[in-house]
A and B are shown apart, each in its own frame.
Chain A
Amino acid sequence: QSALTQPPSASGSPGQSVTISCSGTSSDIGGYNFVSWYQQHPGKAPKLMIYEVSKRPSGVPDRFSGSKSGNTASLTVSGLQAEDEADYYCNSYADSNNLGVFGGGTKLTVL
């Protein structure tokens, strides 16, 4: 059982926006501004999309944005494109292990 809770699936049409949630506790998401998001296409390695809640690594389109409220973090993908169809995983620092905890993943489908 994953420590962070994500919806198993999300979907949207091209051009639309979709938000994926990631719920934790005050010992992980709520306690630290260390939430990251990863995109994973089938058969490929994960790719860092967001770190420190809302920062984007170089090369990540600004269509991807992150936020946090209380114990829940969110990833929003605006202007959906076909290539955004992938699995998305959240991760947060956790004081229980000094390492991090992943969410269960959300499969994003572009209709």
Chain B
Amino acid sequence: QITLKESGPTLVKPTQTLTLTCTFSGFSLRSTGVGVGWIRQPPGKALEWLALIYWDDDKRYSPSLKSRLTVTKDTSKNQVVLTLTNVDTVDTATYYCAHKNQLTAPDGMDVWGQGTTVAVSS
């Protein structure tokens, strides 16, 4: 059974760096075709892609946020870490991590974490 869980601060001040960790089980990020993505959702608004990292360390970023985002993986710990620098109030959102397997569902994130809510406020 695949599970993912996001963790990190619930409150961040403007200009600070937000670091979120996705801890997963039930799959390996060493397996061909596997990826973990990050998606966020501001309150009452739509889903927004942030980043995606694959088993081979291929990394994809949202063009509008690319300069502020970094995604890394630690396969030994079964974790994926997302950092977002210089946060602003518009970064207030629920942040989700999700699993992807290119071999079974090339375009679908088939298992999601419960999400973690982050508020940016001074």
CA distance A52 to B110 in the complex (A): 12
Residues 66-99 of chain A, each 1 if its beta carbon lies under 8 Å from chain B, else 0 = 0000000000000000000000010111001111
Contact status of A48 and B110, CB under 8 A, knowing A57-B105, A99-B52: yes
Flag if A51 contacts B47 (CB, 8 Å). no
Q: What number of A residues sit within 8 Å (CB to CB) of B?
A: 28
Q: How many residue-residue contacts, CB under 8 A, span A and B?
A: 70
Flag if B107 contacts A52 (CB, 8 Å). yes
CA distance A27 to B60 in the complex (A): 17
Flag if A51 contacts B106 (CB, 8 Å). yes
Flag if A97 contacts B106 (CB, 8 Å). no
CA distance A38 to B105 in the complex (A): 13
Minimum CB distance partner of B61 in chain A: A99
> B67 CB to closest chain A CB, in angstroms?
14
Flag if B46 contacts A102 (CB, 8 Å). yes
Q: Which residues of A contact B (CB under 8 A)?
A: 2, 34-36, 38, 40, 45-48, 51-52, 55, 57, 89, 91-93, 96-105
The 15 sampled A-B contact pairs (Cβ below 8 Å) are: A45-B115, A46-B98, A48-B108, A48-B109, A51-B108, A52-B105, A52-B107, A93-B107, A96-B63, A97-B61, A100-B49, A102-B46, A102-B48, A104-B46, A105-B47
